[in-house]
Amino acid sequence: MQFVISMHINPAVLDALTDEERQALGQGHGEFLEGLKASGELIITQALVDPSQAAVVRVHDGQRVVTDGPFLEAKEYLGGFYLVDVEDRDRALELAAQIPDAAIEGLGVEVRQVLFSDGQLEA
Amino acid sequence: MTRSAVEDLLRELTPQVLGALVRRYGRFEGCEDAVQEAVLAAAVKWPSQGLPDNPRAWLTTVASHRLIDQIRSENARREREELASAADVPPEDVPDTDDTLLLLFLCCHPTLTAASQTALTLRAVGGLTTAEIARAFLVPEATMAVRISRAKQRVKAAGSTFELPPAPEREERLRVVLHVLYLIFNEGYTASSGAVLERVHLADEAIRLTRLVHAQLPDDAEVTGLLALMLLTHARRRARTTADGDLVPLAEQDRGAWDADLVAEGLDLAKSSLSGTDLGPYQLQAAIAATHAVAATAADTDWRQVHALYLILERIAPNPMVTLNRAIALAEVEDPQAGLAVLKELEEDERMAKHHRLLSVRAHLLELAGERDAAYEDYRRAAKATASSAEQRFLEERARRLRG
């Protein structure tokens, strides 16, 4: 079964990390990714640009209105995700716990099962 | 010869050629790669150039050469020398034994996860390509390739040999094989948008493989029961969804659209599986499917018998899903309140209480009991809890109907 494991990042928390901590975070994701590839559980992972680069699109009376910045003024933003194909929910939770963000106060890792998918898999 | 006829032939020949190679050279993992390469080459060549005189001998020879090449490139000097002589004597073309069962025992090795067992079985015994298996399971080909190669490494590490497991564990190992075939069938049965065709194909494949096992073990009641269960379930495939892919529950299916040949064969097998003294979960599920199959209309269903069979199944293989089905049957035999009382026990388990199957069964029983508001709430909660979009549409439709 397929799950999205998403990272909810807090720019303030990330900014406050020391260089070593930031490096360890990057390395942790690298190792996690290699492990997922080797186990045949990774489908795709994507990391998103900083929330300040987001744009919100609305349509009023057929007219497009674009506002720069994220949809919600929040502390945490979607930073990226891993889409995995695993044996069961427990394995997805086990994997989520291996993501370095899970051990950093103020960052969140969320697990949700996929309900529907379509499109090209060979991204 | 058409492409699909060639593919059918290749699927049939794959386990025979692989069996011959493993007997000759050992090293299952290397042989499996070599056979896959030979099958891919044949799939390209045969449709345009026609079949060779002896397709199996052609595959065996090509696969043997690939294997030797592969070993050469591994640069293992000693093995190279050993195999240089072995290569001169390719395996006997006509195997004197059907190796399907031995291969299944290897592919369904207990050290593998279910996902790896199913993938490896479909490739090594089913003769499907990695790309086809990946499409059927909705994962990228690279993901599936890694999964299969890792599974083979694991089988190798477990020190498996190409022979029947010793008698004490044979029974248990066979249960694992049957479970894997059942999982492949179910995967094919769970229609999901965009992949419906590939998945139907998986159900066919599971039936084909189970037929092979049945041919080898015609007296095993559980093998017969599993085949009967698959056929009786597969017989309903056309009636089970609308043209738009919406689910149609058993009670509302057009029974005229059931596949009469599959029903007849399934009924025969179900009957013969119950003739001995053994009684296992597949036989019982086949007997339940058979009880539904002989009812001309939903109203004619012998619910008393269905309930009795679920009661036995619950005793020999306890499982909350079986209890849920028994609750539905009991509601038909007695009244909806009796069914709801059965659910009460399951609700004590916190995780089960939020399970979409429990919620949808309770919604159904509440609706039968005339408690429309409570039924509406449960249908909505069940729709939120399911991970199948077809089922979600169905449950939302049930909820809407109550408000309509």
Domain ranges of chain A: 2-113
Task: Tell me which of B113, B120, B135, B139 to substitute to probe the interface with A (most A C-beta atoms closer than 10 Å).
Answer: B139
Residue contact A87–B114, C-beta within 8 A: yes
Q: How confident is the model at residue B195 (pLDDT cuts 50, 70, 90)?
A: very low
Which residue of B116, B137, B387 is in closest CB contact with A115? B387
pLDDT confidence of residue B351: 84
Q: Does A20 touch chain B (CB under 8 A)?
A: no
ipTM of the complex: 0.77
Q: Does A23 touch chain B (CB under 8 A)?
A: no
Burial degree of B126 (CB within 10 A; 0-12, 13-18, 19+): buried
pLDDT of residue B138: 82
| Burial label, B103 (beta-carbon count in 10 A; 0-12, 13-18, 19+) | buried
pLDDT at residue number A116: 83
Distance, in angstroms, between B146 CA and closest chain A CA?
A: 5
Do the strands A2-9 and A77-85 form a parallel or antiparallel pair, or are they unpaired? Answer: antiparallel
Distance CA B203, CA A76 (A): 44
Q: How confident is the model at residue B160 (pLDDT cuts 50, 70, 90)?
A: confident
* A103 close contact with B: CB closer than 8 A: no
User: Which residues of chain B neighbour A114 with C-beta distances below 8 Å?
Assistant: 387
How many angstroms separate the Cα of A9 from the Cα of each of A20, A24, B11, B104, B199? 18, 16, 49, 46, 38
Q: Which amino acid is at A113?
A: Q
Compute how many other C-beta atoms are within 10 angstroms of the C-beta atom of residue B137.
21
Q: List Cβ neighbours of B105 (8 Å cut-off, separation of 6 or more).
A: B164, B165, B173, B177
Res. B388: pLDDT tops 70:
yes
Q: Residue A37: its chain B contacts at CB < 8 A?
A: 146
CA distance A84 to chain B (A): 9
Q: Which of A87, A113, A123 sits opposite B113 (nearest CB)?
A: A87
Q: What percent of chain B has pLDDT over 90?
A: 72
**What percentage of residues in chain B have a pLDDT greater than 70?**
92
**Is the model's pLDDT at A120 over the cut of 80?**
no
Mean pLDDT score, B327-336: 98
Query: Which residue of A85, A114, A117 is in closest CB contact with B143?
Result: A85
Query: Please, are residues B298 and B260 in contact by the beta-carbon 8 Å criterion?
Result: no
Q: Which fold has domain A2-113?
A: Alpha-Beta Plaits (3.30.70)
- Kindly tell me if the per-residue pLDDT of B234 is higher than 60: yes
Return the higher-pLDDT residue of B76 and B143: B143
DSSP lists the bridge partners of residue A84 as A3, A42
Using alpha carbons, list the distances in angstroms from residue A20 to A27, A107, B169. 10, 17, 53
More confident residue, A11 or B258: B258
Give the C-alpha separation, B194 to B124, whole Å: 26
